[in-house]
A and B are shown apart, each in its own frame.
Chain A
Amino acid sequence: MFFRLLMESFRRQRRRKTLAGLAILLGTTAVTAMLALATTIGDRIHKELAVYGANIVAYPVADLLDVKVGGVDVKPASGGTYLKESDLKKLRGIFWANNITGVSPELPIRVLGATSTGTIVDAAGIGLWFEHDLSNGGSPLRTGAVALHSWWKLDGAWPNEAATTDDSAEAALGKAMASRLGLKAGDVIQTAAQTAAKNQSTSRAFMLRVTGIVSTGDTTDDQVFLPLNAAQKIAGTPDVVKRVEVSARTKPEDAFARKDPDSLSPQLREIWYCRPYANSIAYQIREAIPGAGAEQVRRVEQSEGNVLKRISGLMWLVCAAALLAAGFAVSAAMATAILERQGEIGLMRSLGASRATIALLFYAETGLLAIFAGGLGYLAGSGLAAWLGARIFSGEGATTLGTVLNPVLFPVVVTIALAVAIAGSTPSIRRALKMDPSAILRADV
């Protein structure tokens, strides 16, 4: 009998059920979409913030002081100490390896030579990875300077490190330098490469083919951009890098992050170590690469944390506002839906149904509606969030069902829908049950 009543109620009162269901459906859609966006906003904004460049930098700790003004080395240090390029793959093995999204080593050198028209070239050069596969046995991370400097504008092609041979390599020129020397893509610079062997270095001819012109917007516009292996050949220093820029996904710094790990108790130190703070990742880089100092780039890291906190905070607060508004609207809709069925309640009471049975019937109806409409709303909201996310933050990886549907949200959303619908209908059910059935039936409200 109970189930027949329940089923008939859904079959016969389609309009009322549709309206209440629609309210729940839209409410859960909005809440799911907002929650799905709010939970992913951190990663998305972090990706956007990557335009500011590396947030951690590693350098040889025993090195001499940089004498740089405005990005130009005033007194290029001769010699000094270096990091090993072959050590960089160890970055793929640290605890937070998966949070490292970009690695860009640098080797500044001096390029001396002449163009094919005989103009003397004496310029700063920098050896970089452009597109390099960094792998430590597992799947490689394709990374390099291009990914970490998204504001560099290239006309032509980036040099290919695989094209470097013993006597030639590809190179790109900074815009200022190219216009000063009148060079363009396809031109050639003759320079010399050093071979260090047993205390004496011999030099041999080395040819650079220009593949592109780079505009960086700062002083590095007056540079030659070389593949790292070519720069090492020219300088005669195999397997070395001077500085490594690292871009990592981090957790914004809090008071705990600023603690010195060596002053913490072993348990706290473990916790500190296992949180993706910029400081912990820098610490792990220092551990992994022999002779390296690593430091967070405070300008990027601190400000990013700030912006990230504000934008995700805003999303969460708007999300809470959405939840509140949807809750109110759904309860109002549910209250009305019950209120207009007072007559029915009066009839059932006068036919001998107990209050508990009637309340159960109505709660069962409400519950079914909430679960069904809430489930649909979860699907619609997930789809909507994926669509909105893809529209606003373009250039993401392929969207699969796994990335669209967040399984954690499902119970959350359905529980919320259930709670709100039941809370909304409770006052109306209680009021209707309290009234005298004969009064309700006669008044025929």
Chain B
Amino acid sequence: MSGRLSMGAMLRRSLVHRRARSLSALLAMTVSAAVATALLTLYADLDAKLHHEFRSFGANIVVTAASADNGKGLPADALKVVENAAGTNAVAAEFGYAVATTDRGTPVVVAGTDFDAARRLNAWWQVDSWPAPTDANAALLGQRAANFIADERTVQLTFADKPLTLHGAGRLRTGGDEDSRIYMPMAAFTAWTSAQPSVIEVQVSGGAAQVEAAINRLKKQLPQAKVEPVRQLVEGESRIVDKTHALMYGAVVLIALTVAVSVLATLSASVLERRRDFALMKALGGSQAHLMGMFLLEALVLALAGVAVGFLVGSAAAWTISRINFHTASLPRLSVLPMVFLLNVLIATLAALFPVRVLRRLEPAALLKGD
């Protein structure tokens, strides 16, 4: 390399000597990479996160005993079958219903269930205190049902002349049918009424397609039962997830575009202001292609450095946003990296090539002599 400047040396000097400008260009490229990374990471996680939120609506599939074999209820192992068929993420709870009479002589619906499963499934139930799992005779009293009971602590019920005493653990408030019922543990319910569970409510995470698939699996496993989606939940969830998805997509494109144009402005300005260097090189015999290559290389190095730093910053931003909003983290995704890289390289290339028309028109002699 005697006497001739190598490309590498020129590049290094250009970057080091114009530190302020290189830094501002690097900052711009980092911002664009960080924004792209953060938004793409959030976007990729969005569906799973939203579907998770929709779990608070409770069951979206209801399995009931077919009305043909009235009163027989579901097969004894139905809950196990349902849990296996619905998938690992699903929550299922079984319910059995009977009409008993309270100590005041009012007919009331008594429901047997597993309190633990019901609690996981029905996050919206407002309960004074959930009964202990060891308490075999605990009862939750719906707030309207409680008005028809003389003693809420020791609840006396009669079913087909069989009396039963339950400990009232507290009131249950839902604003729905549950308000008029009394809930008790399944084992005690079956022993008392000899009725089997007749309804299994299942919560399957996911959109309409997943619910449909789960229903098909359940139908195959339990041909004798009726398996139905809770239509408003399934439809509503898909619609809202789709709309939020579209909204985020719009936001991603909009922000990416903004940042891209700003970066373009910054980078191409820094190329343009070096007309003098360009003219000098041209006067010394550099070819147009050679010089463009030089600018391009410089922009690409900056773009690459921007991707490296921006990916870290963007992943951290996505993690923070998820943490604040959904209370679960979005982990960094390497799969967004090619997309981010491509975007940054595209911006850098455009920024280097954008001023080419202006530069080509330059007369080296005129420029060097003074504007």
Contact = CB atoms under 8 A, between A and B. Distances in A.
Interface of A: 16, 19-20, 22-23, 26-27, 29-30, 33-34, 37, 41, 45, 48-49, 51-53, 56-57, 64-71, 74-75, 149-151, 216-218, 295-299, 301-303, 306-307, 310-311, 313-315, 317-318, 321-322, 325-326, 328-330, 332-333, 335-337, 339-340, 384, 388, 391-393, 431, 444-445
Given A26-B258, A26-B261, A67-B108, 18 more contacts: A49-B240, A57-B175, A66-B180, A68-B177, A74-B109, A218-B231, A295-B173, A295-B179, A301-B124, A303-B54, A310-B49, A318-B42, A325-B259, A329-B266, A335-B266, A336-B269, A388-B247, A391-B246
A297 B109 contact: no
Nearest to A424: B24
A306 B232 contact: no
Interface of B: 20-21, 24-25, 27-28, 31-32, 34-35, 38-39, 42, 49-50, 53-54, 56-58, 64, 97, 99, 106-109, 122-126, 144-145, 148, 173-177, 179-180, 199, 228-233, 235-236, 239-240, 243-244, 246-248, 250-251, 254-255, 257-259, 261-263, 265-266, 268-270, 272-273, 276, 317, 321, 324-326
B246 to A, nearest CB: 5
B298 to A, nearest CB: 15
Contacts of A57: 175-176
A26 B257 contact: yes
Contacts of A335: 24, 266
Contacts of B20: 339, 431
Contacts, number: 238
Contacts of B180: 65-68
A299 B57 CA distance: 6
Contact of A336 (B21, B106, B236): B21
A68 to B, nearest CB: 5
Contacts of A296: 175
B31 A325 contact: yes
B35 A321 contact: yes
B253 to A, nearest CB: 10
17 contacts: A20-B265, A22-B265, A30-B257, A52-B232, A68-B177, A70-B199, A74-B99, A298-B125, A310-B50, A311-B50, A318-B248, A318-B251, A322-B255, A335-B266, A336-B269, A388-B250, A391-B246
A427 B155 CA distance: 77
B233 A52 contact: yes
A219 B270 CA distance: 70
Contacts of A29: 254, 258
Contact of A151 (B27, B231, B258, B326): B231
B346 to A, nearest CB: 16
A49 B236 CA distance: 7
Interface SS of chain B: helix
A19 B56 contact: no
B176 A298 contact: yes
A298 B173 contact: yes
Given A27-B262, A151-B232, A325-B35, A392 B243 contact: yes
B64 A70 contact: yes
B255 A306 contact: no
A56 B50 CA distance: 25
A336 B99 CA distance: 79
B323 to A, nearest CB: 10
Nearest to A297: B175
A303 B57 contact: yes
B270 A52 contact: no
Contacts of B243: 45, 48, 392-393
Nearest to A312: B325
B254 A333 contact: no
A31 to B, nearest CB: 8
Contacts of B176: 57, 297-299
Contact of B324 (A67, A301, A313): A313
Contacts of B39: 318, 321
